[in-house]
Structure 1
């Protein structure tokens, strides 16, 4: 029994919670082609500066920084009621589902609250991880099922238009100099009266052309009143350098001297 418990804990470190549940009840063996449609609020996040960092940071420093980021984001998402589906490098795919007796309004509000807390976490940990955080949120019907090849590996995954849209909105967030969290109109409508309880504000980005979508998508930007000014202060405060040992170095503008061993200035966080 103890061994089984320990194995379960170890398994949860490598696969999603839904995958653990599926493995425990034997559902992967019952038919990998079976799926389930559920309404969900999908959150997709990632670091805007991750790809450029691959070329200039040492592998050791990058893995250390990335693990700290993923650990921090995971704790925020789970405490907010979200379920993490997978990690894709610096990307995190998570879903918020209605609980028993709930409509989609509650998970929509939880997802927005999680996004605000994730951005706060980044501001509080800016010296360690100064890369801008992008988050996209979309709501709709998703497909949940066991995918893959039994001879190689099975994966309990979520797929669907809302997953793809959340990913595209994350891309939009990573290139949006004004900051904020882009969400689709379905998420804003679902949140309803629950939106704004924490002082969030919304502005319309109009109808946006999204890759993979034939029709334009109505997109809104969510911003936390507390986070708006803090984001600007954070971005204006830190510079990112690469030292001669290829380790990332984050310089606080308030300091009077530059860090030692600076050889290049790959980007400025503005």
Structure 2
């Protein structure tokens, strides 16, 4: 990878000398040099060449000296490193330069073999900084697509050797669906539909996270969230109530002039489920999720809920009846369930 170096010095013959001493490395694409006559010109060059890696700068220059340039570098670039050139024995300026962030220094008259070693060391450090910065940026982007729980799971020791491992956990699953949202695609441009959907999702996610839950997945216009740890059922119920309140406060005017108020239906179920990576290690496509009858029932409950309803089973009701206001509805037959299930609506 080519290293780009900015040489800052007011000596006119230095540019020619640098090009002569490093002509083979320049020809091989190892180094590329840019030149400036003082600190101000150097800052101008930094704006024109944001991919610079190293600054090789003299200290004593007109307009702006090397020490002033050093103090301005953090505002100009997060990764570029400076190597200062100073007269032999000028320890005061050298110490000042190092205190202002210089990576290294060389003394005059310049030993070009020593300078090349110093530049190689500095370039390696800058490359490492760039890789670290890129990893941080990629991690931040990854966090937009992958839940914190998954990232924590990936950070476990020996994670790569236990990709297909799973565990049984006690948790609560919440399914939220925006009722009738699909029909909006018939009257709104696709970009408007996506924008509106993301707005609603963002409101849901904030309430889910506020109660210590995490979003397992987005499915069309629905959200699946999981709550684990202490009081996971109570926190899921509080999140469901908060999500309903937040969504009901929205109003959008459709192209035909009518007002659209989003309604949601929610199903909640709690119990044992299997947590782990589901998918194919060979295909390198895995989904860290929860599965099991408890999860399936939660989705079935959401499917029988009417707009505005939060539906739970009788077993869940018995666990929360002292903390939440609920009312019995009816027995329903859920998909793949042999016996009817008594359902309750969570009111408050």
Q: Name the structure 2 match of 1:119.
A: 244
Contact kept? 1:44, 1:136, Cα under 8 Å: yes
TM-score (norm: length of structure 1): 0.72
Contact kept? 1:140, 1:186, Cα under 8 Å: no
CA distances 1:232-261 after superposition (whole Å, capped 9, x unpaired): xxxxxxxxxxxxxxxxxxxxxxxxxxxxxx
Aligned counterpart in structure 1 of residue 150 of structure 2, from 10, 19, 25: 19
Aligned counterpart in structure 1 of residue 211 of structure 2, from 80, 86, 96: 80
Q: Name the structure 2 match of 1:93.
A: 224
- Structure 1 range deviating more: 143-152 or 20-29: 20-29
Take 2:188 and 2:301, find their aligned partners in 1: how far apart are those partners?
A: 27
Q: Which has the higher contact order (CA 8 A, sep 6+)?
A: 1
TM-score (norm: length of structure 2): 0.56
CA distances 1:116-163 after superposition (whole Å, capped 9, x unpaired): 111110122233762311111011111101111232421101111111
- Match of 1:211, SS? coil
Contact kept? 2:174, 2:225, Cα under 8 Å: yes
Shift of 1:55: 3.3
Residue 223 (structure 1) aligned with residue 310 (structure 2): no
* CA gap 1:33/1:180 in 2 versus in 1, 3 angstroms: same
Aligned counterpart in structure 1 of residue 300 of structure 2, from 153, 168, 189: 168
Contact kept? 1:17, 1:84, Cα under 8 Å: no
Shift of 1:48: 0.9
Greater CA radius of gyration, 1 or 2? 2
Written as runs of structure 1 = structure 2, the 5 A alignment for 1:211-250 is: 211-224=335-348
Take 2:343 and 2:144, find their aligned partners in 1: how far apart are those partners?
A: 35
Shift of 1:219: 1.0
**Gapped runs of 5+ residues in structure 2?**
1-131, 254-259
Take 1:55 and 1:149, find their aligned partners in 2: how far apart are those partners?
A: 36
Shift of 1:80: 1.3
Q: Name the structure 1 match of 2:287.
A: 155
Shift of 1:114: 0.8
- The RMSD of aligned alpha carbons is 2.0
Aligned residue pairs total 210
Residue 210 (structure 1) aligned with residue 210 (structure 2): no
